[in-house]
Amino acid sequence: MKSIELRKKFVDFYISKKHKEIKAAPLLAENDPTLLFVNSGMFPLVPYLSGESHPAGKRLVNYQRSFRTDDIEEVGDHRHTTFFEMLGNWGLGDYFKEEQLNWWYEFLVEVLKLDPHKIYQSVYAGDKTAPRDDETIAILTKIYKKYGVKAGVGVATTTDGNKGPGVEVDFNEQRMFPYVDKNWWKRGDTVGELGGPDSETFYDTGLSHNPKFGKFCHVNCDCGRFIEIGNSVFMQYKKTTDGWEELSQKNVDFGGGLERLAMVSIGSSNVFKSDLFSGYIAFLEQKTNTKYDQASSSYEIIADHARAATFLIADGCAPSNKDQGYFVRRLIRRGLIHLKKLDIDFNAFAELAEMVIEKMSPVYPHLEKNRANITQNIADEVEKFSHTIKNGLKYFEKVKPVDGKLSNDDVFDLVTTHGFPLEIIREIAAEKGYKIDEDGFNEKLIAHRSLSKAGSEKKFKSGLADSSEMTVKLHTATHLLHQALRQVLGGHVEQKGSNITSDRLRFDFSHPRKMTPEEIKQVEDIVNAKIGEKLPVYCEETTPATAKEANAIGLFDSKYGDKVKVYSVGRPIGGDNAAAGADAESAFSREICSGPHVNNTEELGHFKIVKEEASSSGVRRIKAVLD
């Protein structure tokens, strides 16, 4: 089955189950500092899973482009990709386990025509957090019986889920396998985060078990025999200071990998054999005398990284040395390294990006719209990397080996300061008869990455999605701040990003110069005055056209559907609500936003700007707190 057909079948199937299709979010997460990139379909929906009403209703479906940084080093094993598409459906306090599991199997077996004898499930084994998910086991037992499949419950894995139960499994008799760590989904450990038991779906690819991954195979084994194709999360809990408590609504959050479904639907155990990648692989084969099967890892890395970089740049992420841009640069340069290994000209990376645009634009039109930007960024990065290679070679000539071995400091400097790839250092060192202490270098690199990761986790820790009381207050204060800035500095002020934790808000906005102390005080005074006026905060669902007519600020037009949520401070759009306590002639602030917010500005306390600084060219940044 072609991928474009698979996407459509999934969406159409859930529309037939009374779901509404919603637009996908861009890869750069909006208003969510917990994420470098959107890595599943559920993250843009956190406010609605927490209880906010969604304009499209309680049953939603879409396909969401996603990117996971953790998988960069995994690419090359036939089944991992960094960029992927997640097919998703959600029940927001509407349906639960019975409907979800039956629909999912109906789609797999009756629509995709997959063999039910090759489908397996993991379930939550239970611990002090919550009991074993016997309800899911009972539902699955009936489903397997419906399709004529024997379905016993296997031995539970209560320790490391990667190691499995440690016993021989009869996969002809057992279909459901309880795990603890693998089947409790949680977004994070912050108070207010969501979680619950999940049930993952695995497909037997027919590969033989590789004993290097353990004596006994199991569905979560890394040998590659079983591939996860979907996960039904039963999101019914919220983290508190005392543990997990029931949410006001029981949600279903499902995600299935398009690439892996495309793979199993053609009876393959290799993601790169599907139509999503086959054209790119054929292109690379034409560029060299080396066939794919002779250098599959390099082929897969190049194809995946070109596809991922193309989508990331299209969504506004240019290659750089920091934050999200670092990963784009890493993808491009890692792809170029493997082109060099195959003796293929670096320009092939840009040619692959053009192929990605051609193939994927019918599904993602923004790729074509951003074609010039994508190709220019890649061309610039190729040129920079070519210079890096030349400069690295010059530096290499200056290093002085001791006893025929390059020092760890020299190797580390080549990699981290000059951006010289270790693969090339290793190659040149071998040509010159030098040795590298790779263990010593790796220790130094791991220490360096640990520091970088700690800094990144600190930078991206917590956020709006935790829905804690203080975070909600600061989110509302951000709306007041935005309007106050427009009043003091002018209508050119537009939001360029925000990062809201339970400790403070960070707000980026367009402005060409540093704010004066007088301007900062004016903004503070306006916000505090509106807090003191005890203005009600209204939430209304309406059309984008009506919202614009009411002068609502909307920053992300491309993702709006038929309905939007508008939060107004002081006066609602609808006249019927105007008598409910708002006596101002017009709203102080009115923005298209998903929430959540406080009910009245008096809940906010005292607003204080603690810092105003440059963020980037033409963009300023304010950090503020509520006392």
> What pLDDT is recorded for position 463?
39
> What pLDDT is recorded for position 104?
98
User: Are residue 422 and residue 494 in the same domain, yes or no?
Assistant: no
Q: Tell me phi and psi for residue 155, to 5 degrees.
A: -65, 135
Number of domains in the chain: 3
Residue 393 forms part of a structural domain: no
CATH number at residue 169: 3.30.930.10
- Of the listed ranges 261-265, 317-321, 373-377, the least confidently predicted one is 317-321
Q: Quickly count: other Cβ atoms within 10 Å of residue 199's Cβ.
A: 26
User: Are residue 452 and residue 524 in the same domain, yes or no?
Assistant: no
Beta-strand relationship, 505-510 and 495-500: antiparallel
Task: Quote the tokens at residue 143.
Answer: 């489903």
Residue 428 confidence class, pLDDT cut points 50, 70, 90 = confident
> What pLDDT is recorded for position 457?
44
The predicted-structure confidence for 387-405, as pLDDT tens digits, reads as follows 888 887 787 788 888 888 8
Under DSSP, is residue 431 helix (H, G, I), strand (E, B) or coil?
helix
Q: Residue 337: left (phi > 0), alpha (psi -120 to 50), or beta? A: alpha
Residue 51 forms part of a structural domain: no
- Of the listed ranges 44-53, 495-504, 550-559, the least confidently predicted one is 550-559
Residue 462 confidence class, pLDDT cut points 50, 70, 90 = very low
β-sheet with 607-616: strand ranges across? 495-500, 505-510, 619-626, 607-616
Residue 455 confidence class, pLDDT cut points 50, 70, 90 = very low
> What pLDDT is recorded for position 575?
56
Instruction: Give the burial class of 224: count Cβ atoms within 10 A of its Cβ; 0-12 exposed, 13-18 middle, 19 or more buried.
Output: middle
The predicted-structure confidence for 76-122, as pLDDT tens digits, reads as follows 899 999 999 999 999 999 999 999 999 999 999 999 999 999 999 99
User: Are residue 522 and residue 506 in the same domain, yes or no?
Assistant: yes
> What pLDDT is recorded for position 554?
74
Whether 449 has a pLDDT exceeding 80, the answer reads: no
User: Are residue 423 and residue 572 in the same domain, yes or no?
Assistant: no
- Report for 338-352, 447-461, 501-515: range of highest mean pLDDT: 338-352
Dihedral angle of Cα 470, 473, 477, 479, to the nearest 10 degrees: 130
- Report for 1-10, 381-390, 588-597: range of highest mean pLDDT: 1-10
Beta bridge partners of 231: 200, 255
| Residue 208, domain extent | 3-25+97-271
Helix (H) or strand (E) holding 589: strand 589-592
Compute the distance between CA of residue 229 and CA of residue 259 in angstroms, rounded to an integer: 9
User: Are residue 265 and residue 162 in the same domain, yes or no?
Assistant: yes
- Among 249, 271, 293, the domain-final residue is 271
Residue 523 forms part of a structural domain: yes
What value does the mean pLDDT of the chain take?
A: 88
- Among 407, 439, 461, the domain-final residue is 461
Residue 34 confidence class, pLDDT cut points 50, 70, 90 = low
Residues 6+ apart with CB under 8 A from 85: 7, 63, 64, 65, 66, 257, 258, 259
Residue 299 forms part of a structural domain: no
User: Are residue 453 and residue 475 in the same domain, yes or no?
Assistant: no
- Tell me what the mean pLDDT of segment 522-529 comes to: 96
User: Are residue 500 and residue 424 in the same domain, yes or no?
Assistant: no
User: Are residue 557 and residue 494 in the same domain, yes or no?
Assistant: yes
Query: Whose structure tokens read 């071998």?
Result: 430
93 neighbors 58 (Cβ within 8 angstroms): yes
- Tell me what the mean pLDDT of segment 266-290 comes to: 94
Instruction: For the full predicted model, state whether its pTM sits above 0.75.
Output: yes
DSSP structure class, residue 110: I
